[in-house]
Structures are given as structure tokens and as C-alpha cells.
Structure 1
């Protein structure tokens, strides 16, 4: 029996060995065939969130190439004229840069940094984005050469730039002049609007009429002409109750209703029956409807949303916030401004008794998630003046600092003016360009009214550069900081040179020498008077006082540009490596 089992095991073992040998031979044959075949070309695609690392000068080189290419594209828009030829769609720097995407990922990092800085400048200053591109590019390039070839330490270089920035801002603050007249606002708007006199005059009149506390709406002109209108209005820091009321999604979610009826309720709207009666009263008028109340609860809100969705009655609801027992006083302010009757149980007028004569109206009401703009309320001016007098009396008698501030806010809100600038133009492209110019002019005018004026055309920055050079030794503690201050001083001369060269199309060293010889810190080159003669091949080079000529900038815009440019330049210099996540 044992012999039989042993024979069986030996036979099985031999068969297994034979099979394994045949399998090994087949594997070898397959590998040999694979090696003989040509290898297919496979394009490697990085997996999700692959990180590509670059260090030192290689990383900085890639970022600077992206920044430089973007800056060279945008800097030709600096100044009042641009000899670039047709077609010309826009001359706004931030508009140009938004459409640029670099094909090389590392260089696109630099371009994206530039876009972020430009967006920040546009957000906080509203203008000066091209100058921030130019300064940021010059600071970054000069700082890079200082680190790579002059042996400067990046941290010391950054400290020098920061010290220079503080000196420049202090110099410009002492140089600034206050804005006191409409003509000075007009001069600011002329520069920001690329010397469009019609737009500059409209914006100057608008800002002179509404002031810093007023609000300006930009709308499409029904006549195709540019003009501005002054209307009554209120602005409340309270948005819609539900985003189901939204009618426009282009830029931000908002509900915009023209010539709506307005009902102001001093109580909570609790039941469907209450809102049903209101909707039945409104339905025959075929007009939209805005409800201001203490609190619109869920059931009546659902009914208003249902009517909206079915297109029966276009409506919106705003709850006025409770604030130190003045909620009903704020509702009364809205009622007086719109010509409505306050619906309140205390005044013996209930929701069930509301008729069409208890409604007010407005030219337009715009409600977003945070604010409500009531434009052109139909309230009687005499009643509005009486209401303002009541608030003044209450303010004089009130002792609580908190309640006094609330009364001041109500008074300023009631007195605030709202202007509408109608944008003309025959095509959508033309209207879009005019809208961009108006927005830039408005932002520059507001910034100048808040902070003051500086000589324009790059002159203020050029004079600040001279101040840095003269006080260079008193600013620094070591050689690295000295190089940082020197980099800042060199970069500040670039905007003046670029404005002149964009006009004359050649080197401007001889014009800079004339500006130096004038011994006037406000002296500069007026590009409007510098006419270039093609026949005689020369340019009329006139040196003028920039403030007297009306070529001015806003201190707040220049301040924001400088801070953003130094921030942009410092970031790549401070870091020795870069990484890119590829999706």
C-alpha cells in the first residue's frame, strides 16, 4: 500500500514539475515577443493633484516671465493715448488682463498673482490697476536681479522695500491737496475717463450733487444719450427674506422691480389669509409689489413665492431688523419716503382693512441678499422734511450714545441722495466700455474726495523717487536694505517714463531732463498737448504744471497701488521654491 502511494505521489510531482516548466517557457517566450515589439509612445498625464516642485532661481525665473509678459501687454494702456491701431475695444488694464491665460503652468502662476493684485487694487481703489501692474513688474524684476546677481538677501531686500514704502506714503500725504470744487472733481474724472469730457462732466456733477454719502446707480439709457438724474431714495442694510424672489443672476443675485407698489406693515404677517387679501387688492393693478414688515412668517411667505413662480404677481419681501425699539420708527421712515400708510394695529389700521390707497410706490426698488435700495419714492417732500425735523429734535434730547448713533444713521439715511447715470451707446460693446469708464471715474472721484489730489502722469511717484534717493543713507541699517530702497526708487520712475514713451514712441530721457531743469515738483509732460508731427518727425514737448493743467491723481489710488505692488514683489522673492497642483 505504501509503495502504491509513493508511486502516486512521484507521478503527481513529475507532472507538476513538467507543467511549471512549460509555463515558465511560455512566460519567457511572451517576454521575448514583447521586447521585440516597438514600444508605443504614451503621453504622460499627471494624476490628480500631482505636485510639480521648482526651487530657487528656476522657480523665480518662471514666475517673473509670466509677470513680465502680462505687464508688457497691459502697460501700453497707461496714459491718455495709446498708439496701437485698430481695432481697439478697451483701454482698461484690469479688463485686458482678465482674458489672458499663460499656456505654461509655472508662468501662469506669475500671471495669476498679477491678476489677484490687480483685482485687489480695483476692489479697494477702483482705478490704477495698470500702474500696479507696471510697478509690481519693475519691483519684481529689479529685486530678482539684486538677489541673483548682486547677492542681496531676500529678507533684507524686503525690509528695505517696506521702509521705502513708509517714506513714500508719508511724502505723498504731505504733497496731497484737498478737493473743494466741482472743477477739481472734473479734473480727476478727466484722467480716469481717458479724457472723455462728456463722461467726466457727468460724473463730476453727480459726485458734487450726492457727495460721499450718496449712492449712484448706473442704468441703460432709453434715449441712447449719457446723462444723470437726481432722485430721492433710501438704502437699508437688509436683504430679501428668501432667494426665491431673485429676478437677476448675472453679477449677483438680486430682485429688481420697476414702479412697484409698496406696503409697510408694523406687525408680524402670520397667516395666509392676511397675505391673500393683500394680493387680491394688488392683482387688478397688474403691478409688482414689495412688502416691508416686522416679520413675514413661513406660511404667507410660501404663498408670495408661489405667486412669483406662477407669474401671477411679481413680489419681494424685506423684514426690517429690530434695533433698540426703533423698528417701527424705521418702518415709518420707509412709509413716508414711499408715500405709503403704515399698517399697524396701534394706528387702528389692520391688514384685513388695507385698500389700494394705503400703498405707496417708487420708481425702482433693488433688493439683494444684504441691502435694499429704494429709488425715487413717491413720498411728499414736505412730509419728508417734517420727518427729518422730528429726528433732529429727538437727537438733541437723547442722552444715550447708542441711541444717538441710531438717530444719526436714520437722519443720514433719510437725507442721502441717489443719482442715476444713464449710459448711452448704440451697441452692447460700446455701452460696456462706457460703463467701465464711468465706474473708474466714480471710484477715482470718491477716493480723491476722501484723501486728496496729487499731480498725475507719474509725476508724484517720480518726485517720491527723488526723495528716496536723497534720504537713502538715513533709512537703512545694512547693505541689503540699501539695495531694497534703491530698487524701490528706480521702480517709481517707471510710470512717468512709460506715459511719455507711450505718447512719443521713443526714449524720453531728454524730456525727463527738462522736467528736472524746471525746479517744480508739480512739473510734468502733458500728453494732450504733445502733438506728434509725422511730416517733420518731431514731437511738441511742452513741460507744464500738472495740477494747474488738470492732470491729477487720487492719493488713495496711488497709496493702494504702492501697497499692492510691494506685496506682489515681496512674495516670490521671500520664497525659494514654488509648487503647482495640477488638476
Structure 2
């Protein structure tokens, strides 16, 4: 249900003023409401009148557009990219046919997985290189600056630490005491990654660190989707170092690597469509007949094979013409 802003709306009200005073609780519905509000405001600013007509027309165009979009999109079959060979093919095409770039990106994704981190940076040799590091990189830092081991670099760096993972909040010392004792006896650092650490548990970790009794750091765990396990921390990190004989060559290759990596990530996550306008061509041919499974008679849009190059323009013209005709009746 729409609800008015808590403010006084001047009267007599114009349609543009009324439109601006309406918000919807649902964020997606409110997004569409803002679309109509923009139409009314721009019409009022440019023409000074006709906001009601513009609002009705915009609503009709949007509604019919969504209907046609929903019907046409079903004709564009997404192809899933799963195998290493398919990943290499996508990366190669995005790198302007450079199979070396495609194979290296495919190799990196195979090693670290979809959840892993792949970084592209300039190397110091002639040849391209790839380095794989087991583990995972995530956007979280230490909870307290008292855990810092390198003051100048403002970072914590450990070698071969014990790692305690917990999906719960740690508030009492007893919850982590066995891990603290095990790390102290083995003289190895301890990394605690938990939903949260506070109270006496955090105080004990800081005190042990300041006294030099134990190298420890506490990190707040990154958020995971519902049902996901903390075991996703078992991914990996791949660094592709780009080589070349000159700075210009390295820069050009880096651009190709970046484009190929971005395209490949999107393809693995969402799938791919046939390129070169093939999807639009198939969609335009399918419009010549009813959509499979539909019981509706052919419409004017279906009866016309729309050239792929002008598909969106012709579709918009058809919708607008139809809506204007309905409004004039």
C-alpha cells in the first residue's frame, strides 16, 4: 500500500506534486514508483503541463515492455560454463584470441576455485607466471590494534599459526582456553576467526599478546549466505604475474588479462549467451510464430520478423503506438 511522506503537500496539487509525495514500503515497488515520478517531474519541467498523460503513458510502456521482455528472454538460453576447457575458451575469446591468456586464467580458476582470489599484477621477467597460495583472502582485519606485529606497516604477520574457526560469538575465556594453551605449549601463533569475540575472551587475548606470552590475533569472520559453511575459507589465492620485454607490452597484456578474467568470472557465475548477435537473431526469428507453449494467437509483434539490429527500437515503437491508440479511444 502506498504511504504519503510526513509533510504538508501544497494545494491545489499538481500531478507531479502528488507523485513526489508517494513512497512504497517494498523497495522494488518503490523503485518503479521513482521511475514514474521522474517522468512526471521532467514533463512538468519541460512542458509545464501534461504530467497525468505522461504518467499514464509511462506506466503503459513499462508494463508492456516487461511483458515482452519476459517472453523474449526465455528464448535466450544461457549456457553454463563449468569445465576447464570451457573456461579457457571464454577467457581466450575475451583476450582477443590469445590462447596463452585463456589457458593461464583457466589454470588459475581450476586451482583456487570459484571462491578463490585471482590477482593480476606486473612481473619482473619476460614470461608470464602464476603463483598459487593455498588459503583464502577475505575483506576483514584484526579486531584490535593491540594485535599488530609490524607497527610501521600496521599489519599482523604470522608463520604456520594454529587457526581456530568458530561460527559463534566468543565471550568467555573458557571457550578459547584450550586453544590458547595448545598454542602456548607448541610455541606457535594463534589466529582466531569467529562471528565475534568480546568480553573477557578478547581481554585475555590482548593481555597475552602485550605480555609476550603468546602471539595471537582475533578476526571477525566474514558474512556467509544462509546455510553456507565456514569451510569456504579453504579456497586459495592465485597471482598471475605478467612478463614482457617493455612497459608498453606489459600494460597491453595486463588489459587483456583483466578483461578476460572479468568476463570469465561472470560466465562461470551466470552462464553465457551466443555472441555476435546470434541471440538476437534467434529471438527475432522466434517472434515470427507463437512462443512455444503459448496458447495466445499471434500478435502484430509476433507476426513480424524484427531485424536484430533494430529489435529494441521497433519493439519500443510498437508498444508506444499501441498505448497511444488505447489512450485515444
TM-score by length of 2: 0.50
Which structure is higher in RCO with an 8 Å CA cutoff and minimum separation 6? 1
TM-score by length of 1: 0.31
- Normalized per residue, the structure richer in helix is 1
Q: Which has the larger radius of gyration?
A: 1
